[in-house]
Structure 1
Amino acid sequence: MKVTIKDIARHVHVSKTLVSLYLNNHPLSAKISPKTKARIDDAVRDLGYRPSFAARALAKGRTGTIGMIIAAIRDPFSYYLVDLAMKEINERDSQLLLMVTNTSEEALVRCLERLLENQVDGVLSTVSLPVDTPQYKELKERHFPLVSINHEQPDFSCVYNDFAPAVEEFLAYIKTLGAETLHLYSYGNNTTAQLLRKSAREHGLKLARTLSLANEADLEDICKSVLKNRPQFLFFTNCRAARVLVNEIHRAGIDYQPEIFTVYTLPSDIIDDPRIAGAIQYNFKPLVTNGLELLDHQLKAPGKAEREEIVLSTRFLRRDQFGELETLGRYNYRTS
């Protein structure tokens, strides 16, 4: 038989209201004596009481659930963000409801609908939201607590990395190494790739024909091309791709010592390889911690909080500065 607050109150010989105030951490519970609190704690333990999720949500006016939208669960980038978010949200005594779009706009709309149906308190989105959908307009009109992570979003609070300073530092550095041509390998037309294309000419650098990494086959083709032509200066906007290339160089057993640069998107042993000559540091943990802080601001002033924007400055680090990289643990994921 399920144990209720009424059973706890009867066991301790106090009112049901008093037990509810204490278990829900109501401000008025501060007036309850330590002795009575201890007796309630003992009763909870002895009777095996488990709070009703629905009842707690009703009492607090919140579900204690934060929604999170990501593009793909198998992507190490998304996986790591989710892992950080789960740890932070658990510390807040809340739970995470995860939605995956698989890079489909139609799926993204369904994700938003389901999060609203589940009455989540707020949403963290690592995916840029399309502004021309009914769901987006509804969220905007309701001033729904939503924070965009790693993307600028015009109508909602957001936190993202500014790569411009680090790109300038990187380009200036490789010029000191005598670089004339840079080979760029990018997953899509991301921000870092756009900045490199824009600034390379200003630094007197020729940008070789850039190749886009859309899938595993593209990465295999790029590795073959690099091993055949052996360019000296290479930049990968994804450190996983850089790691795959390093593995292929080792596997080929050739004497090839390129200067490889990347965006350090994940804690990885890629930086241990001497061919990695430098990296742009990606602020991972601050994306999540700042994102949740912005969400807290929205939840504390429902419908009234102003849109906020946090821009995280990035740095370019030479190999001799790698000790300054933020390493929060190392993840093993398939790289070839």
Structure 2
Amino acid sequence: MRATIKDIAKRVGVSSSLVSLYLNNRPLAARIAESTKRKIDAAVKELNYAPSATARALRKGKSKTLGLVVADLCSDYSSFFAQTLLDECSRYGYQLLIGITHYDPEEEKRVLANLIARQTDGIFYALRLFPADFLKSLNLQNYPILQLSSAAPEFQSMELAREEALKQCAGKLYEYGCRKVVVAHESWANILEKELEAYGIKIVGGRYATTSDDFPYLNDTPPDAVASDSSIYARLLRARCRELGIPMPYLCYSYSLPSDFIDDPRVIAVTVSDYKTRLSGIVSRMIRMLENPKEPVAHLKEPVRLMSLDELREYRCAQLKDPYYEPFRIRIKYEGN
């Protein structure tokens, strides 16, 4: 078992409060006899005592831990995000506690409540926040939560500014003669719907698809193009088209990491956010929130660019030369991607 101040006091034959005074270098420790100090030092060494960083931090009103709420850690993006976020938090002296929801709304509530109970100093929230009544029950009005994929007005957020890139994407779809388009995710549908309508392009196959392994719109008359905020969805779509022996529709999708690359001539355009810059910005924003708790709530947006397949190929090569993305370079080298 881990040694405590009480164990040291018992070994030396003094009170726990006196040992605490000495080990925490309190002003009154100057009155402690030198012989007693030496005995305490010896007991600390013999018992291999180490002070609790958590206890010290809590006495100062800080736990030096941050929380992350995510759906899973199975994809390349989510696992690399957790790893790099942990590393970046460590640079600021913070540990990271990760709560996984498995796409279960009830589990998401439990994860959030658990991170609050563990007195994390702040939480990175990569999902959609719950309705106000649930949040109020946790008394989170002044809690440092940084939203990464939503913008509930009462909490800080750092979303991606997709609007301009998707407006350009709509123009590209029109240039390629696309008149029937499937928009595969709600985050894009909310923006693209109006932009496509301006070009006379119709959204088909439902407003957006909700699963990544079912493509019912391919069974009838396939659309001219598919727009998806997911490289995983896009890759599965290409595989399904090959199974059916039909040409893949033109494709627009989003890219962040080297594993997102799809080398296919049917790719019209790709929205790109700079992962490394975003990750660093997320953590520095959280630290600013913790250091300036009275700053007003702000909903910031980070830039997203639209690239052609050739531009994306060059961008990806630059990423793979950066040691930051070393895990992908090694894997791609041996997998031949």
Taking structure 2 as the reference length, the TM-score comes to 0.72
**Counterpart code for 2:239:** N
Q: 1:149 touches 1:287 (CA, 8 Å); kept in 2?
A: no
Cα drift, residue 202 of structure 1:
0.6
Residue 277 (str. 1) matches residue 286 (str. 2): no
Residue 311 (str. 1) matches residue 311 (str. 2): no
Cα drift, residue 271 of structure 1:
2.6
Residue 239 (str. 1) matches residue 239 (str. 2): no
User: CA separation in 1, counterparts of 2:260 and 2:110?
Assistant: 37
Q: 2:241 touches 2:248 (CA, 8 Å); kept in 1?
A: no
User: CA separation in 2, counterparts of 1:286 and 1:17?
Assistant: 45
Q: Would the alpha carbon gap of residues 106 and 2 (structure 1) be closer, same or farther in structure 2, given more than 3 Å must change?
A: closer
User: CA separation in 1, counterparts of 2:246 and 2:210?
Assistant: 29
User: CA separation in 2, counterparts of 1:278 and 1:209?
Assistant: 21
Counterpart residue number, 1:96: 96
Q: Would the alpha carbon gap of residues 119 and 250 (structure 1) be closer, same or farther in structure 2, given more than 3 Å must change?
A: same
Residue 186 (str. 1) matches residue 184 (str. 2): yes
What stretches of structure 1 of length at least 5 have no aligned partner? 8-14, 22-43
How many percent of aligned residue pairs carry the same amino acid? 21
Q: 1:165 touches 1:313 (CA, 8 Å); kept in 2?
A: no
Structure with the greater relative contact order (CA < 8 A, sep ≥ 6): 1 or 2? 1
Pairing of 1:183-332 with structure 2 (within 5 A)? 183-187=181-185, 190-210=186-206, 212-215=208-211, 217-219=213-215, 221=216, 225=219, 229=221, 231-250=223-242, 256=247, 258-268=249-259, 270-302=261-293, 304-322=294-312, 323-324=314-315, 328=325, 330=328
User: CA separation in 1, counterparts of 2:22 and 2:291?
Assistant: 25
Counterpart residue number, 2:164: 165
- Bigger Cα Rg: 2
**Alpha-carbon displacement from aligned partner over 1:257-287 (angstroms, at most 9, x marks no partner):** 6432212254325333333232111454444
Cα drift, residue 154 of structure 1:
0.6
Specify the SS of the correspondent of 1:195: helix
Q: 2:189 touches 2:208 (CA, 8 Å); kept in 1?
A: no
Counterpart residue number, 1:111: 111
**Counterpart code for 2:159:** Y
Q: 1:180 touches 1:206 (CA, 8 Å); kept in 2?
A: no
Specify the SS of the correspondent of 1:310: strand
Higher alpha-carbon deviation: 207-216 or 125-134:
207-216
Cα drift, residue 160 of structure 1:
0.1
Counterpart residue number, 2:127: 127
RMSD: 3.6
User: CA separation in 2, counterparts of 1:181 and 1:98?
Assistant: 43
User: CA separation in 2, counterparts of 1:284 and 1:127?
Assistant: 18
User: CA separation in 2, counterparts of 1:195 and 1:74?
Assistant: 28
Specify the SS of the correspondent of 1:218: coil
Pairing of 1:118-157 with structure 2 (within 5 A)? 118-136=118-136, 138-141=138-141, 143-157=142-156
Q: Would the alpha carbon gap of residues 117 and 173 (structure 1) be closer, same or farther in structure 2, given more than 3 Å must change?
A: same
**Alpha-carbon displacement from aligned partner over 1:122-177 (angstroms, at most 9, x marks no partner):** 11111222243354365444x11211112112111110012110011112223333
Cα drift, residue 20 of structure 1:
5.6
Q: Would the alpha carbon gap of residues 105 and 255 (structure 1) be closer, same or farther in structure 2, given more than 3 Å must change?
A: closer
**Alpha-carbon displacement from aligned partner over 1:37-68 (angstroms, at most 9, x marks no partner):** xxxxxxx99x9774423343245432111011
Cα drift, residue 115 of structure 1:
1.4
Cα drift, residue 17 of structure 1:
7.9
Q: Would the alpha carbon gap of residues 169 and 96 (structure 1) be closer, same or farther in structure 2, given more than 3 Å must change?
A: same
Cα drift, residue 298 of structure 1:
2.3
Counterpart residue number, 1:36: none
**Alpha-carbon displacement from aligned partner over 1:170-211 (angstroms, at most 9, x marks no partner):** 12223333x141421414xx2212211111121232333347
User: CA separation in 2, counterparts of 1:182 and 1:237?
Assistant: 18
User: CA separation in 2, counterparts of 1:99 and 1:186?
Assistant: 27
Counterpart residue number, 2:74: 74
Cα drift, residue 294 of structure 1:
2.3
